[in-house]
Chains A and B, each alone.
Chain A
Amino acid sequence: MAEVLTDTKIAALIAEAKPLPEDYIRRVQTKPKRGHRERELDLVGANGSGFRLILRESSFNALDFSVILAWLPPQSTNPFRLRRYNGRSHEHTNALESQKFYQFHMHLATERYQQSGLREDAFAEPTTRYHDFAGALRCLLQDCGFELPPNRQSGLFEAEGVQ
């Protein structure tokens, strides 16, 4: 069984500074696959941790998307999903709380869900902070220690937009 990450370790990984490359806007433009668009961007945090930004958006439904921050454990090929910001295309149930909702929602990795044998990010909270893919990406970048390149300190996607 994979190692259980404590809430403290999870918080530290989320807070670790993650400098974005100069061309990050180009590298988060999603590309078409079968039924959806996707893109991934690997990053190295200030403390040397490996991270992956995973982007998915449906080709059919603009409200169906997923913006994920995963940690890449050094001894494993299984990314650990720290955060996942989802659209409003399906219900979600928090198994331990028996709480069900149909809203935009943010999956959060938790120690207690791992200890219960559930997926690390099987807990989620409804949100009104974003209503589309670009908004979800903006929120994730704001929440998870991402740092803009020195010459791009203003808005995240104001010029190029995000598909």
Chain B
Amino acid sequence: MTIETIQTDFRRKVGESVRLAGEGVNRYRVFTPFLFEDGDHLAVVLKYEDGRWVLSDEGHTYMHLTYDLDEKDLQKGNRQKIITNALSVFSVEDREGELRLVIPEEQFGDGLFSFIQAILKISDVSYLTRERVRSTFLEDFHSFMEATVPVARRTFDWRDAQHDPAGKYSVDCRLNGMLKPIMVFALPGDDRVRDATISLLQFERWQIPHRSLAIFEDQEEVNRKVLARFSDVCEKQFSTLGANKDRIAAYLLEAMQA
């Protein structure tokens, strides 16, 4: 099949605006009207390898997606499902990040049609990139504690210097000046809840006198099992900061006066 015939077949199946341009030996750039959302066209190369014609994106599609997404995110969750499905439906191979389609029995037009469909489907994962408003919870917690507790009565990021010089079991804020200091934890998510659980268990083990208080960013978002384990070791909890500032302040003031 000549390159002119291949181009004609491409045009017949995909569109009149498809064209080919030679780039090296047995290698052609395939120009199509299909775009990513930023105006860049899909990258498609037709090359002759090991006795067969192959369409390839030469790794461009995934690279383009990583302008907005972490490469690891393409390999998990819904994005991975969309990509796997597209590859399967259109018989496209992912070879170490290069998308490839071997032209079946000189059906160049059909091959290009499937290849473009697969890339467009895969590029849809960029629409799953949601705007996320950065949480100000930890900053808000810090400001609240500064406003509520006198500076001499609080230590942020406290650790037990004797048992824990490396600070592996730190406390977001420790209130002092009472028989049992209050360890206050600010908890934005599951990971920090787990850390706080371990810290409180360790304090028990080290027999450090203390009381404990937890303030969640949003307790309803915490995994139930994680929360259950934490509830076994934490004395007092507030489900959010914003809606409970007055209650938390009253609790802290009463505790400091005791």
B4 at interface (Cβ–Cβ under 8 A)? no
Closest A residue to B136 using CB positions = A75
Q: Which of B32-40, B110-118, B148-156, B159-167 lies at the interface?
A: B32-40
A–B complex contacts, Cβ < 8 Å, 7 sampled = A35-B58, A35-B63, A35-B96, A64-B63, A76-B132, A92-B39, A118-B39
CB-CB under 8 A from B41, the residues of chain A are 90-93
- Main SS at interface, chain A: loop
Besides the known contacts A77-B133, A89-B43, 5 further A-B residue pairs in the complex with CB atoms under 8 A apart: A54-B67, A56-B63, A76-B133, A92-B40, A122-B39
Nearest chain A residue, comparing its CB with the CB of B71: A33
- B62 in the interface, Cβ–Cβ < 8 Å? yes
Q: Which residues of B contact A90 (CB under 8 A)?
A: 40-43, 60
- A36 proximity list for chain B (CB < 8 A): 59, 62-63, 66, 97
With a CB–CB cut-off of 8 A, which chain A residues contact B42? Answer: 90
How many chain B residues touch A (Cβ–Cβ < 8 Å)?
A: 30
Instruction: Indicate whether B205 reaches chain A with its CB closer than 8 angstroms.
Output: no
Q: How far is the CA of A6 from the CA of B185 in the complex (A)?
A: 41
B144 smallest CB distance to A (angstroms)? 20
> Considering the complex, which residues of chain B in the window 192-218 have a beta carbon less than 8 Å from any beta carbon of chain A?
none
Q: Is A38 an interface residue when CB atoms closer than 8 A count as contact?
A: yes
Q: Are A33 and B97 in contact (CB under 8 A)?
A: yes
Please indicate the chain A residues that have their CB under 8 angstroms from the CB of B63 in the complex. 35-36, 38, 56, 58, 64, 66
A102 to B67, CA, bound (A): 20
Which residues from 123 to 170 on chain B have a C-beta closer than 8 Å to any C-beta of chain A? 129, 131-134
Interface presence of B98 (CB below 8 A): yes
Q: Which residue of B lies closest to A120 (CB)?
A: B38
Instruction: Tell me if B43 and A74 are in contact (CB < 8 A).
Output: no
Contacts of A61 in B (CB 8 A): 45, 58-60
CA distance A26 to B97 in the complex (A): 25
CA distance A35 to B31 in the complex (A): 21
B47-83 interface mask toward A, CB cutoff 8 Å, 1 = contact, 0 = none?
Answer: 0000000001011101110111001000000000000
Please, how many angstroms separate the alpha-carbon atoms of A58 and B96 in the complex?
A: 12
Min distance, Cβ B104 to any Cβ of chain A, angstroms:
23
Q: Report the bound CA distance from A92 to B97 in whole Å.
A: 22
B134 CB → nearest A CB, Å: 6
Residues on A with C-beta less than 8 A from B62 are: 34-36
For the complex, is A42 an interface residue (Cβ under 8 Å from B)? no
